[in-house]
Amino acid sequence: MDHDGGEVVTPGELLGNSSLLAGLGAYADGRCVRASITGHRRLVPPPPGSTDQRSTVEVVGHKAHGAVPQPGSVVIARVTKVMARMASADIMCVDSKAVKEKFTGMIRQQDVRATEIDKVDMFQSYRPGDIVRALVLSLGDARAYYLSTAQNELGVVSAQSITGGTLVPISWTEMQCELTGQIEQRKVAKVE
Amino acid sequence: MEYVNPLTGFRVDGRRPNEMRQLKGEVGVVARADGSALFEMGNTRVIAAVYGPREVQNKGQQVNSKDALVRCEYRMADFSTGDRRRKPKGDRRSTEISLVIRQTMEASILTHLMPRSQIDIFVQVLQADGGTRAACINAATLALADAGIPMRDIVTSCSAGYLCSTPLLDLNYIEDSAGGPDVTVGFLTKMDKVTLLQMDAKLPMDTFETVMDLAIEGCKAIANYIREVLLENTRRLECQRG
């Protein structure tokens, strides 16, 4: 990243007037754009083809914040509890970045798969300890993010059988134990 | 008692009436915290630590889920004053100062950018020599800036008083306990806005204005100093990175 280009600014410092757009680390205050964090000032030209021809000014700070799940991001989560109508999971990664603190997610019965959503059996789809790839639907309620696995690429990516062996996917609903050959039901993700 | 020498015009500690005590600021003093700072105004020495933005721990405290929750805890170390005395946690004075710091910082933090999260600010007075309120706000600002939390502006605070018919900037403990008026101002320098104004006495209107203007000048000087500290810190980090 190009850090050395811009001068160092501190919160509250004037970056420009309304001929610029406020990006990350900056904010618009009436007619002027000011910095909100300490860091290097950087100008980003408008993306080609956009109607707004104004450049964006942003401030690149030196503190890296942990990744936070946003609606639309793909997360990797570990299932912690499976109930009749939902399963809860702890989010571990957001878009290939590990999270610093604990975020809980919830997969509701209607979000497990795209078809026949009323016939979903949660216990035939997930087990505690499964690693799932899921899409963040929304910020959810006060306790958990709402997650969805209603796509071919989403679902269980890694799991262990009852005996403790690794499960190998054999179809989009079944996985087989390496050790015993026993077949278990899961909502399997299609991993490329 | 004479707080301003009538012959020389100097104060009890040898300062001029509009002179501030020596400032010293240092960031990154607490390794575990997301942001931290040590701030000194003469013999007043305060340490501040900021944790967050992180997930709200106690959901009951969350009033508005669209804004970040700001919490503040102010404490005076037992050894901070001349007489060593164990102070109970949550006495009236520290509860009030916690609230004042919280409100002042909340006014400058862009809380709407961090929904459903909380920011904890802990300030501890290591050495008290008057103006702890102001020093705590300055330390908290520095720590928040170190944590990279988006703020409208750098909010600084300074106190001013009126003793022996002279407006005095940045009162120390002796001047503070004289019982005269003590005006503490919190100020957003670049936006020219007052976010905190406290006074525990009566003062005629015209005198009050000169005293408040003096405190605002003090705030501006502190803001310049804090900016220097932040810029210096950024340069240092840049050198380390190479």
Q: Is 0.85 exceeded by the ipTM?
A: no
Using alpha carbons, list the distances in angstroms from residue A120 to A126, A168, A171, B66, B122: 11, 22, 17, 34, 49
Q: Is A62 on the interface with B (CB under 8 A)?
A: yes
Q: How far apart are CA A71 and CA B7, in angstroms?
A: 70
DSSP SS3 for A162: coil
Residues B11, B17, B18: CA angle, nearest 5 degrees = 145
Confidence of residue A149 (pLDDT cuts 50, 70, 90): very high
Q: How far is CA B2 from the centre of its chain?
A: 28
**pLDDT of B122:** 97
Name the closest residue on chain B to residue A40, using Cα atoms: B234
- Strands (DSSP E) along B56-181, which ranges? 69-76, 117-127, 155-163, 166-169
Quick one: B188 exposed, middle or buried, by C-beta within 10 A (0-12, 13-18, 19+)? buried
Q: How far apart are CA A144 and CA A156, in angstroms?
A: 19
CB-CB contact of A190 with A113 (8 Å): no
Which of A36, A39, A143 shows the shortest C-beta gap to B110?
A36
To which residue do tokens 């799991």 refer?
A159
Quick one: B63 exposed, middle or buried, by C-beta within 10 A (0-12, 13-18, 19+)? exposed
Task: Tell me if A142 and B151 make a contact (CB, 8 A cut-off).
Answer: no
What is the C-alpha end-to-end distance of chain A, expressed in Å? Answer: 30
The CATH number of A8-61, from 2.60.120.20, 3.40.50.720, 2.40.50.100, 3.40.50.10490, is 2.40.50.100
Task: Tell me if B238 and A65 make a contact (CB, 8 A cut-off).
Answer: no
Measured from the Cβ of residue A27, the count of other Cβ atoms closer than 10 Å reads: 20
**How many A-B residue pairs are in contact by the CB < 8 A criterion?**
77
Using alpha carbons, list the distances in angstroms from residue A96 to A69, A77, A84, A157, B213: 11, 12, 30, 14, 53
Using alpha carbons, list the distances in angstroms from residue B106 to B71, B90, B134, B141, B152: 9, 21, 16, 11, 10
What tens digit of pLDDT does each residue of A10-52 get?
Answer: 999 999 888 888 888 899 988 899 999 998 888 888 888 778 8
Q: Is A34 on the interface with B (CB under 8 A)?
A: yes
Average of pLDDT values for A84-99?
90
Using alpha carbons, list the distances in angstroms from residue B90 to A57, B76, B95: 44, 11, 6
Could you say which DSSP state residue B22 is in? P
CB-CB contact of A183 with A122 (8 Å): no
Average of pLDDT values for B165-178?
92
**pLDDT of A5:** 59
Biggest alpha carbon–alpha carbon distance for chain A: 69
Residue A6: in which H helix or E strand, if any? Answer: none
What tens digit of pLDDT does each residue of B34-56 get?
Answer: 999 999 999 999 999 999 888 88
Domain-by-domain residue ranges, chain A?
Answer: 8-61, 74-185
Residue A1 has pLDDT above 70, yes or no: no
Residue A2 has pLDDT above 60, yes or no: no
Average of pLDDT values for B126-138?
94
Query: Can A8-61 and A74-185 be said to share one CATH topology?
Result: yes
Q: How far apart are CA B3 and CA B161, in angstroms?
A: 11
Q: How far is CA A164 from the centre of its chain?
A: 29
Which of A12, A27, A103 shows the shortest C-beta gap to B55?
A103
Q: How far apart are CA B22 and CA B131, in angstroms?
A: 13
Q: Quote the minimal CA–CA distance from B39 to chain A in Å.
A: 18
Residue A3 has pLDDT above 50, yes or no: no
Confidence of residue B88 (pLDDT cuts 50, 70, 90): confident
Name the closest residue on chain B to residue A39, using Cα atoms: B234
Chain A residue numbers with beta carbons less than 8 Å from the beta carbon of B227 are 10
Which residue in A1, A2, A8, A31 has the most chain B C-beta atoms within 10 A of its own C-beta, making it the best mutation to test that interface?
A8
**Who wins on pLDDT, B2 or B211?**
B211
Q: How far apart are CA B191 and CA B179, in angstroms?
A: 33
**Domains (ranges, CATH) in chain B?**
23-241 (3.30.230.70)
Task: Tell me if A36 and B152 make a contact (CB, 8 A cut-off).
Answer: yes
User: At the top level of CATH, which class does the domain A74-185 belong to?
Assistant: mainly beta
Q: Quote the minimal CA–CA distance from B120 to chain A in Å.
A: 15
Average of pLDDT values for B88-103?
90
Task: Tell me if A39 and B234 make a contact (CB, 8 A cut-off).
Answer: yes
Share of chain B above pLDDT 90, in %: 75
Where does chain A have alpha helices with state H? Answer: none
